[in-house]
Structure 1
Amino acid sequence: MNNDHLRLFVRIAATQNISLAGSELGLSPPVASTHINKLEDELGVKLIHRTTRKVSLTEEGREFLPRAEEVLDAVDLAKASVGSGSFTPQGTIRVTAPSSFGGMHIVPALKGFIETYPNLKVDLRLSDSVIDMVEGGFDIAIRNASLNDSSLVARKLASDKRIICASPDYIKQYGEPKTPQDLLKHECINLMGIDSWLFETPDGPQRIKAKGAIRIDNGVSVRDTCVSGAGLTISSIWCAYQQLNDGRLVEVLKDYALISDTAIWAVYPSSRLLAPKVRAFIDYFIKYFGERPYWEHDNSESNRQD
């Protein structure tokens, strides 16, 4: 099986375009089409559906994709082990990340990442939906929820501490809750998917069903609604740290920590070898965020500038 044909197939899966994938590998559209035809003939199955606008993987193509990537990773690592290749990260790394976190903390770091690894290109998809990594052809997914998928390997990039916060105007008008139970008397802004807030209390864990007129599916929008004085909300510090630092938001219920097992994770399929580009991405962002993420610095410390 020709490795060049496999590389082309993997890029077609990522770009959904034969001509674009071929150009990335220095192939003309006719040559790229010929290579894919040869790969399909060799395997005896159809790997892609072709239309006038784009291509998509067949069911057999989706099943074959992770195997093709694993073979290519193994070949690259084998070459490097005998000095005929290099562990230098290269090619294109496809990453998916949540919209809010990705926009605030991945996008600003990309310039430094590419400067550190000039042979790499980044395809980044920002989405609040959980993406199927294999079907989407992604190398890494950034997740900020608890993980329960045994088919994925997870590396922790940073902590994800969550707090309850409100605007000073809201507190001035409605008062500050002193216990979790007091939240039942307040207007709460809910992030869709988080139906209740779990607190540590002297009497053990206490779950509060926060109620309010507003529910939003985006963390940044929830934060901004809270800044406007519409109610209290739960927020990750990475999302609200700038507003906390400049006083537009204040933390409430500091004596009652939220119970959460969330963190910022980089995940990749357990069936794949750890390619140099994936290792480079993970190592870079672990260092970039630091043991204590910059968003957990209070307003007496300098904000990180990138």
Structure 2
Amino acid sequence: MQIPDVEVFSAIAESGSLSAAARRLGLAPMTVSRRLASLEGELGVRLFHRTTRSVSLTDEGETFLPFATTLLEASEGARVSLKSNAGAASGVLKVTAPTVFGQAVIMPLIPALLAEHPALRVDLTLSDSIVDIVGLGIDVAVRIATPRDSALIARPLAPNPRVLCASPRYLERHGIPATMDALLSHRRIALHGMPFWPFMRDGEAVSMRAEGVFSANSVEAVRTASRQGLGMAMLTYWDIRDDLAAGSLCLVELEDVDPEQLFITAILPTRQHVPHRVGMFLQRLEAVLKA
């Protein structure tokens, strides 16, 4: 049942004619007649007695009138409520992000968001796996990987290059490699799902096997193993930013290759009618990343 059809019915009942209802609604008389016919066809009853001079409700029309009034009042109430919340962040903001990035970057944003927007709730899923945001009803996924699903909307937020890193203790004991070939003699820590370390040399992609003394299925485990001096790791800048600042990990830059460039990307299920809470969250996140 279409609300515009019900609005036409209500206007005819109040004004007493199709032409008066048309003037009241700012519609063509033909449009009013067509919408009334559509409503009667859907309900399977005749709602008005119509003559050349007058229009009056049938018994079925009298029965339907209070229901039509309730429908229109509910519709107006919904419009007013949604309009009043259009400039405020409200409802449940459902976000998913990689574990380390979410803990280091997104979690610090949450207290201020909740304090500034009392009607907002946050549901955060931290996972290093790619989750089905449409199936799970997630508003936005923050990913540090090449988007795979072209049906989703990808919005780049900030560069996030892969980096080689190791603990100061490891580098003191084993030296600092200067070239890609020199890496072969070093102990390497592998992340499940990335069996090869990707590099760029003179604009072309090259790689080396990442197998080594230790491997794990999470960025956090690889980062911890690297801090403990178990070997060299390839992670992304934002994964180890705090460790670099604290001095628990060091960057290792090679002379002949550069690690693959990645971006932190926001993945949205659609670009239409994006809730205000999502836009507000992405603005905050992007500001932090650019700062």
- Per the normalisation by structure 1, the TM-score is 0.64
Could you tell me which amino acid in structure 1 is paired with residue 241 of structure 2? Y
Could you tell me which amino acid in structure 2 is paired with residue 178 of structure 1? A
SS in 2 for 1:163: strand
CA distance in 2, matches of 1:248, 1:275: 40
Indicate the residue corresponding to 2:35 in structure 1: none
Q: 1:250 to 1:85 in 2, by over 3 A?
A: closer
Indicate the residue corresponding to 1:53 in structure 2: none
CA distance in 2, matches of 1:225, 1:285: 28
Where do 1:56-135 residues align within 5 Å?
79=79, 86-135=86-135
Indicate the residue corresponding to 2:165 in structure 1: 165
Q: 1:288 to 1:114 in 2, by over 3 A?
A: farther
Tell me, which stretches of 5 or more residues in structure 1 are unaligned? 4-74, 294-306
CA distance in 1, matches of 2:111, 2:84: 30
Coordinate RMSD, CA, aligned: 2.8
* % identical equivalent positions: 31
CA distance in 2, matches of 1:204, 1:134: 35
Q: 1:245 to 1:83 in 2, by over 3 A?
A: closer
User: Any conservation in 2 of the 1:79–1:85 contact (CA below 8 Å)?
Assistant: no
Shift of 1:226: 0.8
CA distance in 1, matches of 2:2, 2:265: 35
CA distance in 2, matches of 1:242, 1:86: 36
Could you tell me which amino acid in structure 1 is paired with residue 259 of structure 2? L
Indicate the residue corresponding to 1:138 in structure 2: 138
Asked if 1:151 is matched to 2:154, the reply is no
User: Any conservation in 2 of the 1:184–1:211 contact (CA below 8 Å)?
Assistant: no
Shift of 1:83: 6.1
CA distance in 2, matches of 1:226, 1:106: 23
Shift of 1:193: 1.3
Shift of 1:230: 0.6
SS in 2 for 1:133: coil
Shift of 1:143: 1.1
SS in 1 for 2:135: helix
User: Any conservation in 2 of the 1:92–1:122 contact (CA below 8 Å)?
Assistant: yes
Tell me, which stretches of 5 or more residues in structure 2 are unaligned? 4-74
CA distance in 1, matches of 2:230, 2:171: 11
Moved more, 201-210 or 271-280: 201-210
CA distance in 2, matches of 1:134, 1:186: 42
Indicate the residue corresponding to 1:71 in structure 2: none
User: Any conservation in 2 of the 1:79–1:86 contact (CA below 8 Å)?
Assistant: no
Shift of 1:174: 1.7
SS in 1 for 2:95: strand
Q: 1:189 to 1:84 in 2, by over 3 A?
A: closer
SS in 2 for 1:208: strand
CA distance in 2, matches of 1:108, 1:84: 28
Shift of 1:179: 0.3
Indicate the residue corresponding to 1:281 in structure 2: 281
CA distance in 1, matches of 2:151, 2:79: 27
User: Any conservation in 1 of the 2:99–2:128 contact (CA below 8 Å)?
Assistant: yes
Show CA shifts across 1:40-69 (max 9, x none): xxxxxxxxxxxxxxxxxxxxxxxxxxxxxx
Indicate the residue corresponding to 2:56 in structure 1: none
Q: 1:277 to 1:246 in 2, by over 3 A?
A: closer
Could you tell me which amino acid in structure 2 is paired with residue 252 of structure 1? V
Indicate the residue corresponding to 2:260 in structure 1: 259
CA distance in 2, matches of 1:280, 1:254: 39
Could you tell me which amino acid in structure 1 is paired with residue 258 of structure 2? A
Q: 1:249 to 1:288 in 2, by over 3 A?
A: closer
CA distance in 1, matches of 2:280, 2:96: 16
Shift of 1:145: 0.8
Q: 1:212 to 1:136 in 2, by over 3 A?
A: same
Show CA shifts across 1:200-258 (max 9, x none): 33595432112302111111221111111111111212121222223222111243321
- Per the normalisation by structure 2, the TM-score is 0.67
SS in 1 for 2:223: helix
Indicate the residue corresponding to 1:210 in structure 2: 210
Could you tell me which amino acid in structure 1 is paired with residue 283 of structure 2? D
SS in 2 for 1:134: coil
Indicate the residue corresponding to 1:241 in structure 2: 241
Indicate the residue corresponding to 1:201 in structure 2: 201
